[in-house]
Structure 1
Amino acid sequence: MTTPMSAATADPRGGVARQSNRVMNLAHILTQNARRFPDRAGFIWGERTWTWGEIDAAVSAFAAALSAKGVGKGDRILVHSKNCDEMFFSMWATFRIGAVWVPTNFRLMPAEVAELAHFAGAKAFLCHGDFPAHAEAVASQMGDRLAFTMRLGHGAFGDCAAADLIAEHGGTKTPNASVDYDDPCWFFFTSGTTGRSKAAVLTHGQMAFVITNHLCDLTPGTTEADASLVVAPLSHGAGVHQLGQAARAVPTILLPTERFDIDEAYRLIAKHKVSNIFTVPTILKMLAEHPAVDAHDHSSLRYIIYAGAPMYREDQKTALKKLGKVLVQYFGLGEVTGNITVLPPALHDPDDGPHVKIGTCGFERTGMQVSIQDDDGRELEPFETGEICVIGPAVFAGYYDQPEANAKAFRNGWFRTGDLGHMDTEGFVYITGRASDMYISGGSNIYPREIEEKILTHPAIAECAVVGVPDPLWGEIGFAVCVARPGMAIDEGTIAEHLAEKVAKYKMPKRFLFWDELPKSGYGKVPKRMVKDELERRGLLPGAATQKASA
């Protein structure tokens, strides 16, 4: 984690010293919206609508309550919650007092959240009413180091309830704390290849650039007349997306429950004339393939932004044919707050042809620079495969309290993404896969994504994941885990025959397994480590006592 610059910084050109690197507190976005659009809807959840004036007032009261309980600038506030109004308000209230918002994945177990509380040095814990065991675990772990536990929503635990404190401090005008560019505002938890969480430090100055960049590259032309539907947890990418939407006074609309109800999502799109959605490829695939896509009016959609993983070409085609040219792909990690590349709607085409750049995740985001580098940090030539590295204002300040991780993550000023890929002569980037996903079989590097794309061209395959597993002869061999489309039969021999003319023999997976579903993370991704864990659990790894084609 970088340290803030001093208040007086010498001008290297010999001019007048810069006295401050103060920037706008992100909570000023609410101040602006309350001034300009006090009566316009800013947040919609179920049958309840909050105007921007009401949101700003609630956030001021929330911030006053936090301050009254001893939370101040730089303190970390751990938040474990499903999407709800008070979670959304907690982010702005935290920013307003200059504290650090530390949201978790609400699907984590109590012991995991307690570990994150300890790691982040949380001073306060805001916990949704559905998670009393998490509140107990955090309180036990933190002891006197935790000032209080505040309950969000209904429940019967905690030292206080957010609703009560907001009411108690109603009418309080809490000013936005003064902040500098490098002052942290958000600890964004990101998992490494081992699954162990790290806290990427996001700052007020960095996030101001990210908001501007998102509006520029992902949803250009956005105004208060638009509307945004949330179909993912606000604790991560969806929360960053909503910050950008709030900067243009766009109302945020939540699904009524945490369950992803596709028919309800389309009903809300039609009712509120939703113009943009942030999601991940697996959820976009579900939206495009569900019968509800033909039952509701979704003509208001202008941008469906998908990120978190590349989208397979066959799934892209289906989505484009059903939803139109509204897809926006971006590539970016939590550490770069999503800002590496973008592929706008105009470059998404449902038909293959020489004019279509199949497999690209787009070109460099505005203000960002990408470099494909070898293991020594040397920039590679076009079409040479190496590690995707990036510099620019969207790069995070570093991992909190993890100097060794920071040393590995940066080289010569470049952030190393850990993703492998290449760049063509026009600057379009192509992701081969995670460095950790690549496996070596018989001395040859195998990139799973290339094989997965070919498998998915078979009409009976809905999803697949290729992983490398240990083998005494070859070092590693490939296992392809597939999910068949409903009502369609497929077997190992058929898919192997389909693939035989599409990939080199040395790349051919040695096994094809068929499961009802692939394991997914809380954000809809299919981490390869989860697939490997499931293979081991089912006894399907080489050398295991049992090897069945399905379980």
Structure 2
Amino acid sequence: MSEADPKGGLAPRSTRVSNLAHFLTRNARRLPEQPGILWGEQSWSWAALDARVSAFATALRARYGVTKGDRVLVQSQNCNQMFESMLACFRLGAVWVPTNFRQSPDEVAWLAQSSGAQVMICGAEFPDHAAACDGIAHHISIGGGAGAHDFETLVAAHSGAHVANVGVDRDDPCWFFFTSGTTGRPKAAVLTHGQMAFVITNHLNDLMPGTGPSDASLVVAPLSHGAGIHQLVQLAAGATTVLMPKGKFEVDTAWSLVARHKITNMFTVPTIVKMLTEDPSVDRHDRTSLKHVIYAGAPMYRADQKVALAKLGPVLVQYFGLGEVTGNITVLPPSEHSPDDAVMRLGSCGFERTGMEISIQSEDGRELAPFETGEICVCGPAVFAGYYNNPEANAKSFRNGWFRTGDLGHLDEAGYLYITGRSSDMYISGGSNVYPREIEEKILAHPALSEAAVLGIPDPKWGEIGVAVCVLKPGMQASAEEISSYLKGKLSSYKLPRQIFFFDEMPKSSYGKITKKLIRETLLERGLIEITEPA
């Protein structure tokens, strides 16, 4: 091999990868009669799903001109058609653009415009959202009756059609994964076929090893985000997906489905795990089939961890990962969850996922030593391709090949990650950095409290001060003075919240996450604090 030929004469390699819809093709061949999706009393085998996806893909292409690279917006609650629309888009090489179905019509209209979608698939229960997106050329309804542009009408009209999976390259986009938009408008993270193939393989390896056709997964979160990724993993494994009924999440219903379908895994967020394990119905249903209860989106408070471990046994799996790295940064497996504080690495979200690397960096990009707090940066095949049509955000989010998560934390000497919080959550009081998560853990050790959140607000003397919002356990009582006295001696004085408020219910996002943005807005609306929201 000469210096002029660093590749040693190797021919350039194609970046062709398998289309993600091939997972469905493979299941239809290998497991044709096994159930792919169960919803209520309805069941669709892998062969039936494959046929429905081909029929709908034919309709998208023949009637609406959808081809490779085109974007298809989806406004829908969880249903079989939502998952089928994803696979039909993938099969055509088009881009699936799901919304958070709880967003307002104006917010969805902005997503439609910013993504450049030419087709909108919309649940019939969202007429205002459809009307707000009248700039989209073509509209398809889910559950809209027998109209020509109804999803089921289109599938029936093209029944028997076969569509081959379009050839795709590693970096061809397949999904616009919208961020939660905690600061400004949501951004479309571009997920690609090659990147997602790695993510799916990694999930099977690191989160739920051994998952296969004999397994079943319960969907308890919107398919538009993390749950959609999780169900793609089930698709790849040939495992059955079970959908919850539409409407408000009911804990008793969830546990009844676990028992009925012998559910082996589910993906959710810590607040939902808390609901599942604290509700009396957890003891009324057989849950011995569970192998993996995967939680992400935020660290779980230690008190809630202990309750979940006591109820469910060694099935908890934690991971840390953003949409931009598609749930693929760290893992803390069941073997490293323990009710014993002396055994468990308290506060850690685990170690690096297979094929991924973490670097804790200072603001100027210098890598920090173990136990030094800085920004969590990551590299590896799970990192997304970038934000769609947003060069400014891309420039801010990448540095020297590292993706900057915006989260703060540190690594210990063994490479376990501890998240301090979002960089936007940290506040500076009297010149000292304050990380709300540390304070929240201390507050939640109080026996009367169920939930707590701490955030910083401007103060003329100290720059910023902390305020705490607490939710009491049913039947319990506590005062702000009592909580303040309880915290003294447990925290440095500058970390002590200067004001403590009690809410009947903590404001949460549509995914069940406690977000500081919503809490701040609620405090302002109730006149409990007086600050100007940042632009």
TM-score, normalisation: structure 2: 0.97
Equivalent position of 1:223 in the other structure: 212
Q: Taking every aligned residue pair, what percent have the same amino acid on both sides?
A: 64
| Matches of 2:344 and 2:193, distance apart in 1 | 38
| Matches of 1:110 and 1:383, distance apart in 2 | 45
User: Conserved in 2, the CA contact under 8 Å of 1:149 and 1:159?
Assistant: no
| Matches of 1:351 and 1:77, distance apart in 2 | 48
Report the residue type matching 1:17 in the other structure: A
SS in 2 for 1:519: coil
Q: Which of 398, 416, 441 is residue 386 of structure 2 equivalent to?
A: 398
| Matches of 1:543 and 1:481, distance apart in 2 | 16
Equivalent position of 2:9 in the other structure: 15
Report the residue type matching 2:277 in the other structure: A
User: Conserved in 2, the CA contact under 8 Å of 1:478 and 1:508?
Assistant: yes
Equivalent position of 2:223 in the other structure: 234
Equivalent position of 2:408 in the other structure: 420
SS in 2 for 1:539: coil
1:67-216 pair list within 5 angstroms: 67-68=61-62, 69-139=64-134, 142=135, 146-154=136-144, 160-216=149-205
SS in 2 for 1:445: strand
SS in 2 for 1:118: helix
- Per-residue deviation at 1:74? 0.1
- Per-residue deviation at 1:459? 1.0
Number of matched residues? 528
| Matches of 2:10 and 2:361, distance apart in 1 | 38
| Matches of 2:16 and 2:379, distance apart in 1 | 22
User: Conserved in 1, the CA contact under 8 Å of 2:524 and 2:531?
Assistant: no
Q: Which of 458, 461, 467 is residue 470 of structure 1 equivalent to?
A: 458
Deviations 1:410-429 (A, max 9, x none): 00000000000000000000
User: Conserved in 1, the CA contact under 8 Å of 2:457 and 2:531?
Assistant: no
Report the residue type matching 1:149 in the other structure: H
Equivalent position of 1:266 in the other structure: 255
Report the residue type matching 1:368 in the other structure: M
Equivalent position of 1:547 in the other structure: none
Q: 1:47 to 1:422 in 2, by over 3 A?
A: same
Q: Which of 298, 304, 315 is residue 309 of structure 1 equivalent to?
A: 298
Report the residue type matching 1:379 in the other structure: E
**In the alignment, does 2:40 pair up with 1:46?**
yes
| Matches of 2:144 and 2:274, distance apart in 1 | 34
| Matches of 2:5 and 2:142, distance apart in 1 | 47
Q: Which of 428, 436, 445 is residue 440 of structure 1 equivalent to?
A: 428
SS in 2 for 1:135: helix
1:520-531 pair list within 5 angstroms: 520-531=508-519
- Per-residue deviation at 1:502? 1.2
| Matches of 1:202 and 1:257, distance apart in 2 | 27
Deviations 1:154-190 (A, max 9, x none): 358x860110010000000110000000000000000
| Matches of 1:463 and 1:159, distance apart in 2 | 49
- Per-residue deviation at 1:18? 2.0
**In the alignment, does 2:81 pair up with 1:63?**
no
RMSD over aligned Cα atoms: 1.3
User: Conserved in 2, the CA contact under 8 Å of 1:470 and 1:542?
Assistant: no
Deviations 1:258-292 (A, max 9, x none): 32111010000001100000000000000010001
Deviations 1:345-380 (A, max 9, x none): 000001211x32100000000000000000111110
- Per-residue deviation at 1:14? 4.1
SS in 2 for 1:288: helix
**In the alignment, does 2:329 pair up with 1:340?**
yes
| Matches of 2:313 and 2:394, distance apart in 1 | 42
Report the residue type matching 2:22 in the other structure: H
- Per-residue deviation at 1:62? 0.6
| Matches of 1:148 and 1:390, distance apart in 2 | 39
Equivalent position of 2:21 in the other structure: 27
- Per-residue deviation at 1:15? 2.2
1:454-533 pair list within 5 angstroms: 454-533=442-521
- Per-residue deviation at 1:12? 4.9
Report the residue type matching 1:52 in the other structure: W
Equivalent position of 1:363 in the other structure: 351
Deviations 1:511-543 (A, max 9, x none): 110010111111111111111111111111157
- Per-residue deviation at 1:39? 0.3
| Matches of 2:364 and 2:179, distance apart in 1 | 25
Q: 1:11 to 1:254 in 2, by over 3 A?
A: farther
Report the residue type matching 1:349 in the other structure: S
Deviations 1:188-225 (A, max 9, x none): 00034414100000000000000000000110011100
User: Conserved in 2, the CA contact under 8 Å of 1:130 and 1:155?
Assistant: no
SS in 1 for 2:221: coil
- Per-residue deviation at 1:493? 1.0
SS in 2 for 1:30: helix
SS in 1 for 2:197: helix
User: Conserved in 2, the CA contact under 8 Å of 1:83 and 1:258?
Assistant: no
| Matches of 2:182 and 2:274, distance apart in 1 | 25
Q: Which of 430, 434, 437 is residue 449 of structure 1 equivalent to?
A: 437
| Matches of 1:510 and 1:168, distance apart in 2 | 64
SS in 1 for 2:354: coil
Structure 1 residues not aligned, in runs of 5+: 1-9, 545-551
Deviations 1:29-55 (A, max 9, x none): 000000011000110001101000100
| Matches of 2:13 and 2:476, distance apart in 1 | 68
Q: 1:412 to 1:498 in 2, by over 3 A?
A: same
1:538-549 pair list within 5 angstroms: 538-542=526-530
SS in 1 for 2:187: strand
| Matches of 1:516 and 1:252, distance apart in 2 | 34
